[in-house]
Chain A
Amino acid sequence: MTPTTERHAGESYLGGERTLRSWLTTRDHKRIGLMFLIATSLFLFVGGLFALLLRLELLAPRETLMGPMTYNRMFTAHGVVMVWLFMIPAIPSGFGNFLLPLMIGANDVAFPRLNLASFYIYVAGAVVALFGLFMGGADTGWTFYVPYSAQTATAVVPVLIGVFILGWSSIVTGVNFIATVHTMRAKGLQWMQMPLFVWAIYGTSVIQVLATPVLGLVLLLIGMEHLFDWGIFDPRRGGDPVIFQHLFWFYSHPAVYIMVLPAMGVISEVVCAFSRKNPLSYQAIVIATVGITFFGFLAWGHHMFTAGMSTFAAGSFGILSMVVAIFSAIKVFTWTGTLYQGSISLKAPLLYVLAFLFLFVFGGMTGVAVATMSLDVHWHDTYFVVAHFHFIMVGGTLTAFLAAVHYWFPKVTGRNYPETWGVAMAVLVFIGFNVTFVPQFLLGNLGMPRRYYDYPESMQWLHVISTGGSWLLGIALLTTVLYLAWSLRHGAVATDNPWHSAGFEWRTASPPPPYNFPGSPALHRGAYDYTGQEPPEGPAALP
């Protein structure tokens, strides 16, 4: 046993060994989860900074702040950092790691060493990718379309290798979580009693394990093409650039669900906890989670309607995309219905859920709109699509991430955040987000293509509004970090269950002790059972 796992009564996972070494060699899923949360949040800020600079350049047509080369590199960096360093790992590897074992009454994940390895693989991938982004600066966009990516003189290969390595972290964590859910559930905890966040993470893990290898393969192929000029995708030698697009989206469309499913898991937890209600239909959410996991694999072609695919193929991908949307709609319906006859406490996490509901419905329905083939012909590769996926990624995932940060802040740190600030910034995030991205839908309608650093004058004022919005969003997020950092030291010390949540993760101390539950966890009361009187403060019914 390493020193960190020594147990002292009443001591939290944060206490005990406090040396850097004990953190870097820890096998405690909570410490690993926290390290992931810190690292991914850091990259959220790096990626966000890029976004602010890009928006600044777009304040006026022609060159204002940077030339086209810098701009092209920067939107590539923004995409790569946000997708692979923040969105994909943030909720699964961060909150998933921290909460999964707590939510199934386990003392750790199935393979704690592998879990730590996953963190180091992530760090290694991040270092290599960032090295590439800063030294040579790939300018291909995060989509790496051939033949451009095979021809560009910029440093594509280090970025490809970095992302390749990051993929391994994703796979390893996925395998670990699947094994954990199958083998580590507390005695008597049935599948259909698991918290919905666990279901979400489980579905996510399946996608990570099945889809990421395809990404690895295709990244290797472009690397080869770029380095050795093999002609795999080069039409001059019988290759086909469109095959690349199929392979790429075969991963990258399901990857959208790697980013969104965990967010949905968060929403399910927060809605129930703050309305003190069971979900309107637990089964419906489970069915929808499984449905998204499966059908998410079959919709990739909707990214290629204009790449010369047959009308029949386009139609098939269109229908399949709509089926996926239906599963999301089931969830939205269920969350909204869950509020009915609840005892609702409007705290920052629930405010974020409200924002999520509105933005996610709008983002999701515009998703159905772009899956409608003839409409997509106009919108494809314009700001409409940019706005659509930012509604899902920022309006959906980032909002859920913030809900999670606030909801589980006392669980992770043992302190409360200042509620007034939390509420104020949630409102500002919502406003800033809409001011940034609603104009982008309109820009897309006007015909503004994406990845343009220059544009016709007639489009300017919509860009100005959007840039203004991005600053609001930036200020709101920065303020959030500041008050959260402040709370780490000065926040009021939290009770074990400040929200009176029935969630399993709250049935132990906050922050939890190294092995999570002193003795066997008490999971008799369901994770969404609010029908009884609240027991007095403290961990519920310890043996």
Chain B
Amino acid sequence: MIPASADLMRDVLFLPEAASRQARDIDALHFWVISATMLGALAVGLTALVFLVKYRRMGDRPRPTRFIALPVKYELAMAGLLLGLFLAWWFVGYRQMIALQRAPEGALEIYVTGKQWMWKFASADGPDTVGVLVVPAARPVRLLITARDVVHSFFVPALRVKQDAIPGRYTSLSFTIDRPGSFPVYCAEYCGLSHSRMWATLVALPPEEYQRWLEGAVPPAVGEAGGNADIAGGRLGEREAISIAQRGEQQAARYGCLACHTVDGQPHIGPTWRGLFGSERVLVTGQRLVADAAYLTQSMMRPMEDLVAGYPPVMPTYQGQMEPADVAAIVEYIKSLRHDAGRAP
């Protein structure tokens, strides 16, 4: 679809601007589906109207009519055609869904925690924030989302994405915003009293400005979003004195992980954490997968689900016992121990 007509459609349908490629792809399917819907309803309505006028009863005396029965096979053929159309939508939708769920290479990972009634954000090297999610434009971002108390849902209309935040689980969401800007974020899953005000702002900064943000400056776009009284809990979090990976090290000690895991490359009761991140794991089932952030959190929450080959199944579950921020910190810590990271913090 040519961009101008797409913009017109967006205006007609009240869709907000689309801030990513994915969002524009989804809109294209949207236009197709919604046009077919309107045409379908009109076609049926008009056909019925035409019959109504054409075959209306004259006078009050009913007259006999002809017995007309369409053989079922014609009905089924009609249904088959329609199913073909639906399947075409399904096919496109399925591919888009896969694209939505696949984490792009080198994505910036940010941990999102929903709690009644605010959104908290933590990333490896930026400051923690509440109510404002700061990301670089034109770079893939992956959100790892969870909730502290009840189910919430992280919804960014401008990106056409939404992901439930579920206590005890980590779900993820990826996107690449193609230009700087500020976009509203809503909680879409009912979560109690102030559900209707559980808002946040997603601020996409130009790369240089994002760099300055990491170094401690507060760019105007972030300040505006943070100062906006409309935003629940709308203030910037304290800049952490220690890095998130350092905090992860402390937490790993506190939760007793280091009783079974080493960080020096030696296997102990459990596998070592050195070089774990990004490496290929072989499970007892013979399955192989790459240890990414999702795998690491999964290993903490449901250790019995993907047992690493060669170790006893003794690791306890930490589901519900760790603050999401601590989980994020430990994952960052393990990440910092990857081989290619070069040095331990």
A322 in complex: contacting residue of B66, B87, B189, B190, CB < 8 Å: B87
Cβ of A131 within 8 Å of any chain B Cβ, yes or no, is: no
B214 on interface, CB distance cutoff 8 Å: no
| Contact indicator per residue, chain A 479-501, by CB within 8 Å of chain B (1) or not (0) | 00000000000000000000010
Q: How far is the CA of A2 from the CA of B3 in the complex (A)?
A: 76
Is B160 an interface residue when CB atoms closer than 8 A count as contact?
Answer: yes
Decide if B78 is an interface residue (CB 8 Å cutoff). Answer: yes
Task: Enumerate chain B residues within 8 angstroms of A456, measured Cβ to Cβ.
Answer: 184, 230
In the bound complex, what is the Cα–Cα distance between A305 and B187 (angstroms)? Answer: 16
Known contacts A336-B48, A339-B55, A446-B15; is A374 also within 8 Å of B34 by CB? no
Could you say which of A214-222, A340-348, A511-519 contacts chain B?
A340-348
Identify which of A141, A329, A346, A446 contacts B16 (C-beta below 8 A). A446
Which residues of A sit under 8 angstroms from B174, Cβ to Cβ? none
Stretch of B119-127, B163-171, B237-245, B274-282 at the chain-chain interface = B163-171
A381 to B75, CA, bound (A): 35
A449 to B189, CA, bound (A): 8
Is B33 located at the chain interface by the 8 A CB criterion?
Answer: yes
Contact B150 A531 (CB under 8 A): no
Cβ–Cβ contact A446 & B14, under 8 A? yes
Contacts of B56 in A (CB 8 A): 344-346
Contacts of A281 in B (CB 8 A): 69-72, 75
Which residues of A in the span 189-247 have a Cβ within 8 Å of any Cβ on B? 234-238, 240-242
Instruction: Check A278 for interface membership: any CB of B closer than 8 A.
Output: yes
A368: CB under 8 A from chain B? yes
CB pair A372–B33 under 8 Å, yes or no, is: yes
Considering the chains assembled together, what is the distance between the CA atoms of A524 and B83 in angstroms? 38
Q: Is the CB of A308 within 8 A of B171?
A: yes
Least CB separation from A286: chain B residue: B72
Residue numbers in B under 8 Å from A329 (CB-CB): 78-79, 82
Q: Judge if A452 is at the interface, Cβ distance under 8 Å.
A: yes
Contact (Cβ within 8 A) B45 A354: yes
* Chain A residues closer than 8 Å to B96, beta-carbon distance: 373-374
Interface size on A, residues (CB 8 A): 99
| Closest-CB distance, A38 to chain B (whole angstroms) | 32
Closest-CB distance, B66 to chain A (whole angstroms): 6
**Taking the nearest CB of chain B, how far is it from the CB of A435, in angstroms?**
16
> B155 touching A241 by the CB < 8 A rule?
no
Scoring B residues 141 to 176 as 1 if CB is less than 8 Å from chain A, else 0, what string do you get?
A: 000000001110101011011111011110100000
Candidate in B40, B70, B160 with the most chain A CB atoms within 10 angstroms = B70
The residue among B38, B56, B65 with the most chain A CB atoms within 10 A of its own CB is B65
**A484 vs B250: C-alpha distance in the bound complex, in angstroms?**
74
A184: interface (CB < 8 Å): no
Comparing A98-106, A254-262, A359-367, A466-474, the segment that makes contact with chain B is A359-367
Stretch of B193-201, B265-273, B283-291 at the chain-chain interface? B193-201
Which of A69, A365, A455 interacts with B36 by CB under 8 Å? A365
Chain A's closest residue to B30 (CB) is A375
B62 at the interface (CB under 8 A from A): yes
Q: Which residues in A have their C-beta under 8 angstroms from that of B52?
A: 339, 344, 346, 354
B63 within 8 A of A: yes
Q: Does A394 contact B (CB under 8 A)?
A: no
- The CB with the most chain B CB atoms within 10 A, among A145, A449, A455, is that of A449
Docked pose: A242 CA to B150 CA in angstroms: 11
- Give Cα distance in the complex from A287 to B71, angstroms: 13
> Do the beta carbons of B184 and A306 come within 8 Å of each other?
no
Stretch among A27-35, A168-176, A293-301, A311-319 lining the B interface:
A311-319
Selected interface stretch from B106-114, B129-137, B313-321, B332-340:
B313-321
Tell me whether B164 and A147 are in contact (CB under 8 A): no
A236 contacts B89, CB within 8 Å?
no
Chain A residues contacting B319 (CB-CB under 8 Å) are: 235-236, 238
Q: How large is the interface on B (under 10, 10 to 19, 20 to 34, 35 or more residues)?
A: 35 or more
Flag if B83 contacts A366 (CB, 8 Å): no
How many A-B pairs have beta carbons closer than 8 Å: the answer is 299
Please report the C-alpha to C-alpha distance between residue A151 and residue B158 in the assembled complex, in whole angstroms: 33
Q: How far is the CB of A239 from chain B (nearest CB, A)?
A: 8
Tell me whether B48 and A339 are in contact (CB under 8 A).
yes
Q: Is A9 an interface residue (CB 8 A)?
A: no
- Give the contact stretch, choosing among B97-105, B205-213, B219-227, B252-260: B97-105
Tell me if A377 counts as interface (CB < 8 A to partner B): yes
Q: Is the CB of B48 within 8 A of A374?
A: no
Q: Are B162 and A380 in contact (CB under 8 A)?
A: yes
Residue of B nearest to A71 (CB): B196
Say how far B94's CB is from chain A's closest CB, in angstroms: 5
Cross-chain contact B16 with A374 (CB below 8 angstroms): no
Is the beta-carbon distance between B26 and A382 smaller than 8 angstroms? no
A15 within 8 A of B: no
Judged by a CB distance under 8 angstroms, whether B5 is at the interface is: no
Question: Is B168's CB under 8 angstroms from A235's CB?
Answer: yes
Contact B29 A276, beta carbon cutoff 8 Å: no
Most chain A CB inside 10 Å of its own CB: which residue of B40, B68, B100: B68
> What separation, in Å, do the CA atoms of A471 and B167 have in the docked complex?
40
Give 1 or 0 for each of B48-76: 1 = CB within 8 Å of chain A CB: 11011001110001111111111110011
Most A CB contacts (10 A, CB to CB) among B41, B90, B163 go to B41
The reply to whether the CB of A445 lies closer than 8 angstroms to some CB of chain B is yes
Shortest Cβ distance from A68 into B: residue: B193
A194 to B56, CA, bound (A): 27
- 5 further A-B contacts with Cβ under 8 Å, apart from A365-B37, A368-B86, are A139-B192, A241-B168, A343-B63, A362-B37, A381-B153
**Can you list 17 A-B contacts with CB-CB less than 8 angstroms, sorted by A residue number?**
A72-B193, A275-B51, A280-B68, A306-B153, A306-B162, A315-B94, A326-B86, A329-B78, A344-B51, A346-B52, A357-B45, A375-B30, A378-B160, A380-B188, A446-B15, A531-B65, A531-B66
